[in-house]
């Protein structure tokens, strides 16, 4: 029986993760992510998927982020009718993220139609419903059969809530061979989440390499930096805007603000979560407290709610969001994380010209985004099609990445070198990927390769 791996996405690239495990005639897809980037490139890839959907027998999903899950409804639309295995929390988060993704694509299509462009979204909300019906939820450390003779076990990856490292155990000729997939690999000491677990010995390893040649700055203590910004803003009499992704960073900031208020390191102040998706993601996070780390559990044991504390308001409708224009003091957390879309733009329009207000960034801002221009200190930017002077303060809390850097990855994976006969490095820009190939080779791993898109390897 031939065993092979085919790399159909995130090969020398970071989005659209899709790795196909071929076991004789049977096929298991590890993740089915959406390609993100300029429409003319991304759209074709997200339509074709480079795969015959009817010939995939099962999917195993590492975590809910759209660049790992976003093409599942397309796969179902194209004829996939197997099971999609994931953790409980990933199932909950992926459901709302995929709904949101379908809704955004419909909005896009409507917008383009007005300009005379016919754009058929790759999938619609009904495809999402058909997809989530195929979800089969599992706990960490409870092995299950993906297909007859193929066991799977999830280990906590510490990247976002529910994120998993995947280990497949395949029976071949009286021997068990193991394939390990890191998914996106998190970091130690992140708020709320547990530290990444150690993967057991595997024969073949697929690892991410997002920061394959970078070392993160020291973890700024998010709590201390936040406390400082809040105290100074209260003194200046302005409000704080925090652009944040709905899953992960929004909950981190909210959690730290709650801790700071409870321990009286900052006075009580109002906090608005202005994004329906962030509200849903926060409720889901709160419902999975069994996955929290020790510190977050202590908060709960002390009788305090980590996210739903006094002064927090979840803003649902547009009218209430507009009413926030009148708010002069407090914290507004809104999506999108890089200030490219969403309600944060309306709040920026109000706050950018006001010297008393503060824009506080807590995540990576990609080149070319509005968030990046603001962090780089541009004094005039375009917001919602209008030029806007920047007079407010722009501050950043750094070092909060949810991906391990190369040293952290080497620490976490080094113990696999004696057994892993082959390593595939994925999920990184070319430079990061190739740099990480070198690092792993230096660590004693044999046969470390950076697959190219579409490349197939017989194991």
By CB under 5 A, which span of 10-18, 19-27, 53-61, 64-72 interacts with Zn ion?
Answer: 64-72
- Quick one: 65 or 373, whose CB is closer to Zn ion? 65
- Residues 132 to 191: which contact Zn ion by CB under 5 A? 184
- CB 227 to Zn ion: min, Å: 28
- Quick one: 46 or 169, whose CB is closer to Zn ion? 46
- Residues 384 to 443: which contact Zn ion by CB under 5 A? none
Residues 438 and 449: their CA atoms lie apart, in Å, by 10
Residues facing residue 5 across a β-bridge: 21, 457
- Quick one: 53 or 284, whose CB is closer to Zn ion? 284
- CB 361 to Zn ion: min, Å: 19
Size of the site for Zn ion (CB under 5 A): 2
Task: For helices 88-114 and 276-287, give the axis angle rounded to 10 degrees.
Answer: 170
- CB 199 to Zn ion: min, Å: 17
- Residues 219 to 278: which contact Zn ion by CB under 5 A? none
- Quick one: 159 or 346, whose CB is closer to Zn ion? 159
- Quick one: 127 or 184, whose CB is closer to Zn ion? 184
- Residues 346 to 375: which contact Zn ion by CB under 5 A? none
Length in residues, the chain: 459
3-state secondary structure of 388: strand
Q: Which residues, 6 or more positions from 373, have their beta carbon under 8 angstroms from its beta carbon?
A: 381
- Quick one: 87 or 351, whose CB is closer to Zn ion? 87
- CB 63 to Zn ion: min, Å: 6
3-state secondary structure of 412: helix
Q: CB–CB of 57/233 below 8 Å?
A: no
- CB 160 to Zn ion: min, Å: 6
- CB 210 to Zn ion: min, Å: 9
Provide the 10 A C-beta neighbour count for residue 8.
25
- Residues 80 to 119: which contact Zn ion by CB under 5 A? none
- CB 16 to Zn ion: min, Å: 12
Cα–Cα distances (Å) from 183 to 69, 110, 287, 400, 430, in that order, read: 12, 34, 23, 19, 18
By CB under 5 A, which span of 65-73, 118-126, 214-222, 348-356 interacts with Zn ion?
Answer: 65-73
3-state secondary structure of 369: coil
- CB 65 to Zn ion: min, Å: 4
- Quick one: 261 or 425, whose CB is closer to Zn ion? 425
Residues 229 and 231: their CA atoms lie apart, in Å, by 6
Q: CB–CB of 214/405 below 8 Å?
A: yes
- Quick one: 331 or 362, whose CB is closer to Zn ion? 362
Cα–Cα distances (Å) from 255 to 3, 250, 259, 278, 299, in that order, read: 45, 9, 6, 13, 10
- CB 71 to Zn ion: min, Å: 15
**204-208 and 175-181 beta bridge pairing:** parallel
Q: How far is CA 171 from the centre of its chain?
A: 32
By CB under 5 A, which span of 61-69, 123-131, 197-205, 264-272 interacts with Zn ion?
Answer: 61-69
Residues 181 and 183: their CA atoms lie apart, in Å, by 6
- Quick one: 196 or 238, whose CB is closer to Zn ion? 196
What would the two tokens of residue 249 be?
């960073």
Residues 215 and 357: their CA atoms lie apart, in Å, by 32
- CB 143 to Zn ion: min, Å: 24
> Looking at residue 405, what DSSP letter applies?
B
- Under the binding rule (CB under 5 A), the answer on residue 65 touching Zn ion is yes
Residues 322 and 335: their CA atoms lie apart, in Å, by 15
- Quick one: 65 or 138, whose CB is closer to Zn ion? 65
| Residues lying near Zn ion in the complex (CB under 5 A) | 65, 184
């Amino acid at each position: 029986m031939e065993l092979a791996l085919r790399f159909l996405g995130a090969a020398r690239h970071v989005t659209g993760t899709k790795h196909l495990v071929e076991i004789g005639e049977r096929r298991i897809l590890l993740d089915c992510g959406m390609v993100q980037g300029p429409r003319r490139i991304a759209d074709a890839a997200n339509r074709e998927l480079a795969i015959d959907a009817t010939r995939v027998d099962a999917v195993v999903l590492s975590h809910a982020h759209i660049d790992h899950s976003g093409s599942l409804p397309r796969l179902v639309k194209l004829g996939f009718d197997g099971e999609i295995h994931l953790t409980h929390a990933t199932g909950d988060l992926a459901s709302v993220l995929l709904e949101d993704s379908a809704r955004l694509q419909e909005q896009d299509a409507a917008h383009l139609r007005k300009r005379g462009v016919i754009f058929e979204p790759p999938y619609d909300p009904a495809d999402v419903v058909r997809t989530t019906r195929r979800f089969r939820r599992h706990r960490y450390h409870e092995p299950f059969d993906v297909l007859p003779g193929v066991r799977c076990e999830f280990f906590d990856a510490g990247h976002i809530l529910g994120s998993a490292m995947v280990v497949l155990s395949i029976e071949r000729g009286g021997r068990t061979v193991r394939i390990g997939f890191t998914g996106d690999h998190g970091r130690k000491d992140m708020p709320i989440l547990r530290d990444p677990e150690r993967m057991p010995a595997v024969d073949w390893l697929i690892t991410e390499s997002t920061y394959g040649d970078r070392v993160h700055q020291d973890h700024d203590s998010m709590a201390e930096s936040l406390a400082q910004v809040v105290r100074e803003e209260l003194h200046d009499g302005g409000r704080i805007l925090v652009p944040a992704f709905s899953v992960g960073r929004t909950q981190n900031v909210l959690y730290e603000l709650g801790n700071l208020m409870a321990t009286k390191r900052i006075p009580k102040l109002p906090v608005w979560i202005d994004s329906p998706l962030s509200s849903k993601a926060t409720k889901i996070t709160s419902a999975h407290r069994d996955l929290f780390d020790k510190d977050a559990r202590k908060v709960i044991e002390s009788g305090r709610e980590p996210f739903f504390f006094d002064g927090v308001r979840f803003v649902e409708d547009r009218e209430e969001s507009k009413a926030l224009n009148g708010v002069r003091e407090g914290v507004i957390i809104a999506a999108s994380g890089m200030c490219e879309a969403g309600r944060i733009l309306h709040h920026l329009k109000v706050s950018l010209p006001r010297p008393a207000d503060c824009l506080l960034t807590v995540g990576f801002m990609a080149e070319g985004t509005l968030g990046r221009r603001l962090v780089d200190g541009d004094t005039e930017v375009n917001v919602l099609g209008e030029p806007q002077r920047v007079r407010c303060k722009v501050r950043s809390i750094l070092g909060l990445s949810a991906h391990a850097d190369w040293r952290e990855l080497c620490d976490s994976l080094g113990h696999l070198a004696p057994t892993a006969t082959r390593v595939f490095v994925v999920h990184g820009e070319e430079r990061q990927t190739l740099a990480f190939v070198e690092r792993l080779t230096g660590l004693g791993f044999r046969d470390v390769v950076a697959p190219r898109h579409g490349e197939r390897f017989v194991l």
